[in-house]
Structure formats: C-alpha cells, structure tokens
Structure 1
C-alpha cells in the first residue's frame, strides 16, 4: 500500500464511498457490510481492502477497538427512517438507530476525520430535531462539524440530494495535546 491517509467504511454497500475516498487520495484499510450481495460486489471491486461481512450491531467494542485506526471514518447509515418516501421513524426507528452504531465506532477509534452521508429527509426527520441531535452527537465526541446538502445527480437521471457532515477531531480542554503538530501527527 502506498503512503497515504487511510479510510475505513461502515455500511459500505458495493463501495461507492470507498471509490470516492480513493479518488480523494485515501487508502481504504477496512470496511463493514452485512448484505452478502453487496459484499460480493465490494470484494470484486476492492480485493485489497479487508471486508468484515457482519451486522454492525454484532461487532463488540473489543473487536472494533482492535481494528486499525483510520485517518477518516466514512459511513452512511441506512436511510429509510429518514427518507421523505419512508415511514419517517427518524433516529428512533430500527434503521435510524444504526447511526449510533457508526458513532460508537467513532468513539472507540477516534479517527481524525469522520464523514456521514444521508438523505435530505434527515433535515426534517423527528419534526426537525434529528439533524441537530446528529450534529450534537458528533460534537459530544470532540468533532467540529460542517455540513452541506449536495445533489449527486451528475450522470444519473434523477435528483439525489444528500446531506454530508464532515467532522474534524478537535481535542477538548481535558486533552493534553498542546500543539498543532501533536494534533496532526
């Protein structure tokens, strides 16, 4: 593997976010996906990446903590509970709660950067309270967040508006990190 920033991917599907990370210059080191068909596609596209074929909720804290820590942790938890076309169960829904599984991994791994992608409906889910809760969840782990609504419709005959949150780890007062060099070493 070449010397570059590393990435890890959860809810990786067939590897769209992995492909994007590679295009941005990252070297993916591992991914998690539960769907066997998506895993078959992922393995074919990225044979050099360790693929963990498992339900994310079945992975223990000890297992996660034993994985190599990536520079960037990228995930897009399942969207049906946030989708405008779905039941709108929000963060309390069975799939909506999977956001917190990604957050659990971030808490255990403490990557420098985390990226979360989801549908536009997250902005209005739970009577517009879900999105502020998502931002607060990242912030509570020491991440300074920025977000954008982007339309991924290029080369696709449909509108695909997605919310992207990028969080940068910013050590709090309780951390002993003193300098910029220590933060980014």
Structure 2
C-alpha cells in the first residue's frame, strides 16, 4: 500500500506528526529548534528525520535536498498573533516565521499544505495580516480554504485554532 508522505515544520513535541499519522501520512522529516521539544519529539518519533536547527538558517539548497513530500504541515509560533501576546502580528519576530513556511512551500512545491494558527490571526493587524498571509500563499501557487475549530475534543481546554488547507494550482481540476 502506498502511503502519502508529510514534512513537519515547527514540530514541537509532535502533535502535528501524531495528527498526520492518524490521517494516514508517513512523516519523512521534521524541523524543530527548541531542544526540549526536540528531545520529546525524538523519543516519540525515532524513525522521522529530525532537523534540530533554527529554520531561518536552513539554506534553500538544504531544503531542496529534503525528501519530497505530499504535504507540509505546521503551525508557526503564535505569540505575535495571540490575544495574550504583544499583537505585533506578521511584523513580529515570531510572526515573520510564517514566511519560512511559505519558503518551504515555494521551494518544495508539495501538492498540499496544512497551516495551523491561533484564531486571533484573523484580527491581527486589524485583519490585514491574514490578507497578507493568504496573498503570500497565492504568490507561491496555493489556493485553499480555512476554518476555525475548537481543539477541546483533544485537550481539556477551549483552544480555538485556525486551520488553513491549500492545494497547489497544478493539482487542481479545471472543472472545480
């Protein structure tokens, strides 16, 4: 049986990897900079190639050398978008990391992506940040949709998250 493959950005302790596996994907590689999260990830998913490096230091050549995957999954850090944070949005140091997600999409051009973020990203920058996010995804060839879902089904707290799913233009039917 052929399994679809996934690459995981901002891997943390492996929540997105666990979700990818549950959805039938075989994670090939993951990137995580935090040493504590990486230690948890290595223990939970020893068969996944874990790249423990600051994503901003990875060269385009290195990214091209990664195993080609069917989907890139990740949620860039949320403090700059969060209502509990400084609300610096897409201009903040962590908010800028979204563009690393886009860089991976542009270089690897997988058929699909899943990007997860706090729902407050929709109101960040008076709503203009999300327009910039969608525009960046369109610029690299992806069309998609989004939905806010409460993750309280999986964790004992209300945790509203935005899920943005996209497909590269070359995989879309003209009849759609």
1:29-178 correspondence to structure 2 within 5 Å: 29-171=28-170
TM-score after normalising by structure 1: 0.90
DSSP-derived class of the 1:87 partner: coil
Report the alpha carbon displacement of residue 46 of structure 1 after superposing the two structures with TM.
0.5
Aligned length: 173
Change (3 A) 1:96 1:24: same
The ranges of structure 1 where at least 4 consecutive aligned residues each deviate by more than 2 angstroms after the TM superposition are: none
1:140-163 CA-partner distances (Å, limit 9, x unpaired): 111111100000011533210000
In structure 2, what is the Cα distance between the partners aligned to 1:167 and 1:117? Answer: 12
Q: Which residue of 2 aligns with 1:6?
A: 5
1:123-182 CA-partner distances (Å, limit 9, x unpaired): 0001110111111111111111110000001153321000000010113xxxxx9x96xx
In structure 2, what is the Cα distance between the partners aligned to 1:109 and 1:99? Answer: 16
In structure 2, what is the Cα distance between the partners aligned to 1:89 and 1:31? Answer: 27
Report the alpha carbon displacement of residue 117 of structure 1 after superposing the two structures with TM.
0.2
In structure 2, what is the Cα distance between the partners aligned to 1:84 and 1:149? Answer: 15
In structure 2, what is the Cα distance between the partners aligned to 1:36 and 1:5? Answer: 28
In structure 2, what is the Cα distance between the partners aligned to 1:156 and 1:4? Answer: 28
Q: Which runs of 5+ in 1 are unaligned?
A: 172-176, 181-185
For the aligned residue pairs, the C-alpha RMSD in angstroms reads: 1.4
Larger Rg, first or second structure (1 or 2): 1
DSSP-derived class of the 1:80 partner: coil
Between structures 1 and 2, the one with greater helix share: 2
Q: Which residue of 1 aligns with 2:26?
A: 27
